Amino acid sequence: MAVPTQTKKLIDTTFGTYKFGFRTHVASAFKSPKGLNEKVVRKLSERKEEPKWMLDFRLRALEIFEQKPLPQWGADLSKIDFENLHYYIMPPEKGMKNWGDVNPEIAKAFSLLGIPQAEKKFLAATSAQFESEVVYSSLHEALSKQGVIFDSTDNALKNHPEFFKEYFGKIIPSNDNKFAALNSAVWSGGTFIYVPKGVEVALPLQAYFRMNSDNMGQFERTLIIADEGSKVHYIEGCTAPVSSANSLHAAVVEIIVKKNARVQYTTLQDWAHNIYNLVTKRAYAYENAEMFWLDCNIGSHVTMKYPAIYLMGRGARGEVQSLAFSGKNQHQDAGAKIIHAAPDTSSIINSKSISKSGGRTTYRGLLKVAKGAHNIKAKINCDALLLDSDSRSDTYPTNIIEEDDVNIAHEATVSKIGEEQMFYLRSRGLSEQEAGSMIVNGFADPIIKHLPMEYAVELNRLIEMEMTGSVG
Amino acid sequence: MNKTTLKISGLRAKIENKEILKGLNLTIKSGEIHAIMGPNGSGKSTLCNVLMNHPKYEVTGGSVTLDDQNLLEMETDERAHKGLFLAFQHPIEIPGVTFANFLRLAKNANKKEKAIGPADFHKVLKKSLGTLKMNDTFAERFVNAGLSGGERKRAEIVQMSILKPRIALLDEIDSGLDIDALRVVAKGINDIFEKEKPAILIITHYQRILNHIKPHFVHIMSDGKIIKSGTGALAHELEKHGYEKYVK
């Protein structure tokens, strides 16, 4: 994201409505036939020239996926037509270290999205995934000299197999849930990051995910390992063309934050309003480590996503700040999970949701304090803002507390956009829309302020666009 | 500058089926300061809210024109663009929105003038805050959030000084102010009046603000109507005799 204004204007005038809804016309190098079976998985693994253990891992996951029923809680997933999806679409193969080497049509799409422009200005590393594969990936030379690894997960599996044996699928096993199993069976693309001991990456690393085809599934797999005392901030952005056909995005993100390390993972999700976004994200934070999820869900038809933090070592800290916006025909079922598995750990969950034009938001959270985890501090805050009486918001917090010396604060509010606030702002000359955007942006401000400035501006703009109703 | 005239004729309005305004007549022009005084429940605040088109009130009769245009057909923001301003009795909080950002967008929403950028606006705002004896840091605080009653009233006058209305309705701008704050607010209003010559309508229970701002006309309101109008001297009479002499 962080699309330059000029580019945005171009996109607005060219495509109108949902500004990332344009489609790129490019022939794929390979496309698996619709539907999912063992043959599709074998073919995919073969094309990727994977080691046998990975093929076995995929096939076991496929079995789990087929056995597990759809979740009977959360958003309505009954309309997903698994037989009508392409599970793997490979864009034309090219070099991926320079934009000049990327297929020109695909490079153009990312340029319209402002990715190379943002890369020049304020990113330490950039990757771009188109359909099922990463087509561009680049890391500042200084960082690569310090031993930082930033690559597509497919490449990393080839070049750094030692990390995969130790960590891949260990934080989120295939049998965790149906969609983690699906991802494990057909994963492709995603980002691998390793930050060596003591290395602090000052600028954010960014990955951008683009789905271009109808009826496709995108299943990127991300693995981040922050070694002792290191620091890194990773940002992901997602968009897709507007189409009538429902596509599925089911990612798995595993993060290991070692002793004294810090990871921030920021998501700006703005999928087109026909996409099912069912993502499993989990981090393990060890002694005195800090994990920070900043999760903004603006787009998609249905999102189910509950970034989790397991506080595994004494003194570890976890924080989840999340923002959800649901408009017409959208359901954001999002939240957070924090597991205090060690003493002296602390956590913060701050969730804000906005519902408009019949949109629905759900906060679903889990706070667990395990036996033996003494002296725990936890704070949970959920605020929902309803912009009209057609919209809906629900809160489902679950607390499982197995120790006594815990300090837990929980607050939840639901408010309707105030008639008096609207009247006040309009009496100063602001239109109904301007006043509404101002109130909503103000409501979201405590989350937005955690974003780097360029992204904060972008998110404010996205909210304004959603408020004008020009989307979807 | 052209004279602006707000003409209210036989105005009737209700809230939740209760009639509050019962045929009110009043004409105010730029360059004039009017004060409406009256006991609680006489409909003074209702008049302000109706003129600004508060959604809870319904106009049931009469007319209001602003320079011969039908004010009652206009949306609230349109009325603001035409130069109408209401200083609220109870200014509401807008969390997460800074005063500077809010006021600059409000200033620019009225597209008559060239839009002002954040840097230039900051200078203008700083000056205005200074006049109202408010610290610069108020610019970056959220609108009315955590402000005392007196600070909110001063912030209303800061908004008035920046938006430069042609007709300003000040709804109990003096309530909740101590004597020093009252002086500051009154000076702020007088400065704007001297510079911009708008029409000002002061709604108040008490005569004390009129020791600092000299009205050209004073009206007594009771039961949804103006029952007596006079010059500034009427306020002093009221102070002496109370409302009872006028209200039957």
* Each residue's pLDDT tens digit, B71-97: 999 999 999 999 999 999 999 999 999
The residue among A344, A224, A214, A359 whose CA lies nearest residue A288 is A344
By Cβ distance, the residue of A429, A432, A438 closest to B97 is: A438
Does pLDDT of A11 surpass 50? no
Is it the case that residue B230 has pLDDT exceeding 90?
yes
pLDDT at A12 over 50: no
SS3 A35: coil
CB A367 within 8 A of CB A336: no
Tell me, what's the pLDDT at A19?
66
Going across the sheet that includes A205-210, the strands are A133-139, A125-130, A205-210, A231-239, A262-269, A290-297, A317-326, A346-355, A376-386, A406-416
Output A417 or A136, whichever has higher pLDDT: A136
- B109 contacts on A by Cβ (under 8 Å): 428-431, 434
pLDDT band at A244 (very low <50, low <70, confident <90, very high): low
Cβ separation of A431 and B159 shorter than 8 Å? no
pLDDT score recorded for residue A14 = 41
pLDDT of residue A459: 84
For residue A95, give every residue at least 6 positions away whose Cβ sits within 8 Å of its Cβ, in sequence order, or none. A101, A102
Chain A: closest CA distance from residue B36 (Å):
21
pLDDT at A471: 38
What's the pLDDT at B1?
53
Q: What mean pLDDT do residues A418-447 have?
A: 92
Looking at residue B93, what is its pLDDT? 93
Please compute, for residue B117, the number of CA atoms within 13 A of its CA located in the half-sphere on the CB side. Answer: 2
Best A381, A413, A421, A426 member to test B by mutation, with max B CBs in 10 Å, is: A426
One-letter amino acid for residue A27 of the chain:
A
Q: Look up residue A166 and give its two tokens.
A: 């130790």
Contact call for B95 and A428, based on CB within 8 A: no
Q: How far is A426 from chain B (nearest CA, A)?
A: 5
**Could you tell me if B115 lies within 8 Å of chain A, comparing CB atoms?**
no
* Per-residue pLDDT tens over the stretch B104-159: 999 999 777 788 988 999 999 999 999 999 999 999 999 999 999 999 999 999 99
- Does residue A126 register a pLDDT over 50? yes
Answer whether B96 sits within 8 Å of A428, measured CB to CB. Answer: no
What is the distance in angstroms between the CA of the first residue and the CA of the last residue of chain A?
19
Looking at residues A436-454, what average pLDDT do you find?
91
Is A464 in the B-facing interface, judged by CB distances under 8 Å? Answer: no
pLDDT band with cut points at 50, 70 and 90 for residue A114:
confident
B5-241 CATH pick, 1.10.3470.10, 3.90.1150.10, 1.10.10.10, 3.40.50.300: 3.40.50.300
Closest Cα of chain B to A445: distance in Å?
A: 5
pLDDT tier at A422, thresholds 50, 70, 90: very high
Question: What is the model's pLDDT at position A16?
Answer: 42
- Whether the pLDDT of residue B2 is over 80: the answer is no
Which residue of B48, B54, B71, B76 to mutate against A (max A Cβ within 10 Å)? Answer: B76
Query: Which of chain A's residues have a Cβ under 8 Å away from the Cβ of B159?
Result: 428
Which of B105, B107, B111 should be substituted to probe chain A, the one whose Cβ sees the most A Cβ atoms within 10 Å? B105
Q: How far is B81 from chain A, CA to nearest CA, in Å?
A: 6
pTM for the model stands at: 0.85
User: Kindly report the CA angle at A4 between A299 and A112, in degrees rounded to 5?
Assistant: 70
* CA dihedral over A312, A314, A317, A320, signed as positive or negative: positive
- The rounded mean pLDDT for chain B is 93
From chain A, the residues in CB contact with B88 under 8 A are: 424, 427
**What is the rounded CA–CA span in Å between residue A392 and residue A394?**
7
Min Cα separation A386/chain B (Å): 15
Please give the share of chain B, as a percent, with pLDDT higher than 90.
83
Of A33-42, A455-464, B25-34, the range with the lowest mean pLDDT is A455-464
**What average pLDDT does the segment A365-385 reach?**
96
Partner residue facing B105 (CB), from A423, A430, A432: A430
Q: Please give the pLDDT value at position A18.
A: 61
- 8 Å CB contact of B109 and A421: no
Average pLDDT over residues A298-307: 95
pLDDT of residue A15: 41
Asked if B157 is an interface residue toward chain A (Cβ–Cβ < 8 A), one would say no
Rounded mean pLDDT, B189-199: 97
Among residues A330, A269, A63, A42, the alpha carbon closest in space to that of A178 is found at: A63
Please report which confidence band the pLDDT of residue A417 belongs to, taking 50, 70 and 90 as the band edges. confident
Check residue B199 and give its pLDDT.
97
The answer to whether the Cβ–Cβ distance between B96 and A445 falls below 8 Å is: yes
Identify all chain B residues contacting A459, using CB atoms and an 8 Å cutoff. none
Structure tokens at A65: 């996926």
Rounded to whole angstroms, the Cα distance separating A238 from A129 reads 10
Task: Find chain A residues with C-beta within 8 A of B96's C-beta.
Answer: 441-446
Q: Where are the domains of chain B?
A: 5-241
Chain A residues touching B94 at Cβ < 8 A: 421, 424-425, 438-439, 442
At A54, the amino acid letter reads M
Question: Higher confidence at residue A240 or residue A426?
Answer: A426
Query: How many Cβ contacts (< 8 angstroms) between chains A and B?
Result: 74
